[in-house]
Structure 1
Amino acid sequence: MKHYDVIIVGGGQAGLSVSYYCQKQQLTHLVLEKSTLMNAWQNKRWDSFTLVTPNWQCQLPDYPYSGDDPNGFMNRDQILQYLDGFRRKVNAPVREHCEVRKIQFNQTVYQVSCDVDTFTADQVVVASGSYQQPIIPDYAQRLPHHIQQLHSEQYKNPQQLNDGAVLVVGSGQSGSQIAEDLHLAGKHVFLAVGDAPRCARFYRGRDVVDWLTEMKYYDIPVDQHPLREGVRDNTNHYVTGRDGGRDIDLRRFALEGMELFGKLEGFDGERLHFSNNLNRVLDNADKTYNSINQRIDQYIDVSGAQATTASRYMPVWRCPRERGCLDLAQSGITSVIWSIGFRPDYQWLDVPVFNGKGYPQHARGVTTYPGLYFIGLPWLYTWGSGRFSGVDRDARYLVDVLSAGQLQARHSTLSA
């Protein structure tokens, strides 16, 4: 078996960032990718996808955004071009189409078994992310066979859907943007709204991300956040970078004909059943929206920063009568897009570092198991850990730990 100092599982931006710093530390390593590098960006984003954070936040290792629109939002093709440049810069040692089937710790080394080969390593970095197993509820199997069903990672554009209305289930970042994409294309959209919060795109003359960066919000480590590790369970705020960036206001969509419902609870063979919580979840999303703006107001008052006049969002629509059920046949729905997230799937990692929900237990990516690390997870250390803005800091930190561990491993080998 070929032996390495470090095996990196996952060939996205996180895995390549670790490779970049491993090369600087002269650690022998290999990146294992079950598909192709940056596969999720290439194949699991819809055609009109854009970043929801401004381009200037793209700060991969020694590879910042260098285009002419730092305050804009790259579209899917531009993101792929940016990532391809990073891939070429790193030039990582990679085995593509090499799916990891099992990782075990055998006394002193990790044995990494793939579908095509087996390797050993002193240390392992799991960079496969947490968006692994698409969530689709069991009752989806009871929907009629003529109903087209997709998960959000399979959605590309309105043209791939059947003629007729579409039900989007979930209103997080993906669900709300896909619903907007379909709505703008003239589709009759039914949206089952979840409990995702929302935020403003621009407030008091600047992008909200600019304000929060200046307020040092994105530098808060998870152990200093008011929710501590609980913040990792939070749903991302919905907003969009489409057409230069704007708010996503589900209430305005309702005024324009989109039909909003509460959380989808099930299907009885004829009718879809929803919670009667639509007004409450919309109110809660607006409460978060206004709360973030109020914190910006407070910062402006204290700092004296220049800004335009403060404002407060007031609802433009309220559901007059919440509907708890919907007859599927009468609705005209011919397609369903499930956008209710993913669950982790680390069955191939035979090391006891997971909690009861299947998530790895770690401190800044470092587990209690010697030589096992994670990167690219939401709030691994800060808000930016799962994004282009924070993975550099996480990778540098982890490789420093890796390097120290490798020195210790080499010393132990020599002593033996």
Structure 2
Amino acid sequence: MHHFTSRDGVLHCEDVSLETIAAEVGTPVYVYSTATLTRHWGVFTGALKDAGLDATVCFATKANGNVAVLRTLADLGAGADVVSGGELFVARHAGVPADRIVFSGVGKTRDELAYALDEGIFQINVESKSELEMLDAVAREKGVKAPIAIRINPDVEAGTHEKITTGKFDNKFGIAWTQAHALYRKAAGMDGIAVKAIAMHIGSQIADLSPFDAAFGRMRDLLAILRRDGIEIERLDIGGGLGVPYDREGDPTPMPPADYARVIARNLGDLGCRLVLEPGRLITANAGVLLSRVVHRKEGATRSFLICDAGMNDLARPAMYDAFHAIEPVRAPAPGVENEHVDVVGPICESSDVFGKQRALPPMQAGDLLVFRTAGAYGATMSNMYNGRPLVPEVLVKDGEYAVVRRRPTWQEMIALESPAPWQG
């Protein structure tokens, strides 16, 4: 469920017209609904509670790192799953308590690990032997013990896009589950390490619950082995990955959080461990849209094009993953108007700058507004300034108010970090 609905023929976010936002903020612009964020958080955490699960839920910051969005979730009790020192800084700046932050990612640097220890975060998810040794050295230098999980790679096919699958042996993530036992024994003997958890994450946009069943089984087996060795595990970090509907015909329907919670409870609920979960897309995807304006209508030799002011630099998912986003006009057509099939494209000088081919839309002309649905996750966080285009602004709506929570930079700000070389005068 989301809170983007049509009123008097005009699409609104909660009680604010998207036409108003476009006129006052400009386009392209991301628009997020506080009510949807709140509802999705409540549905997810409520499902865990109803299943009798003792869980800490840390929002995956990579899905949407806007400070106002993170603060909204932090005020609801969310922690943060971060994958860089920069994301850790943003999460702390947004008000996420350090004791609700998990640091994941395969390439943590020495400086990032030191920063995480200085902040006193909840858990560091170690992904390699070399990272474990680096973290041990940094922690001993600081006279502390680093609270860790070792992320295992369970070699489970998640049934999702190959670029967002993370739990197969040929992925770069985690330690092969067959090698994890030995690394845990090594970690348990290190002076700078406090073994706390087992971690796992198998991918994103997963619609079938059977991969979770398989992965949780391997986590359960490893826990039994570690306990026989006298290595105490307090918690199980099971990642995220539950899919959301993008409304493409033929796509499988993702399982609801209640079904997911029951799978967790069936596999892991009797082990006496606290659970850590890291949903991202599930919380924010349908809470946001990308609002864009048609710049030109172009009649090609074989098809018609709507050229929008949003480009693949603003929303990279279609170009990067062949991802589908529902596209619809902000203003509803007059009764009886028939749809036509058009290609919806952006202004970037790349043939991959296509949002949708042969989409059924009412006739639209230059100046008309449209939205790309389900854009609140991996939209603004993946945006960039390719082709010299400023970063897209972000707007947060609550009831009948809206606020610009990331403004559009000026051209001068785009080059503020650059300078000529000394010999260029």
More RCO (CA 8 Å, sep 6+): 1
Q: TM-score, normalised by structure 1?
A: 0.28
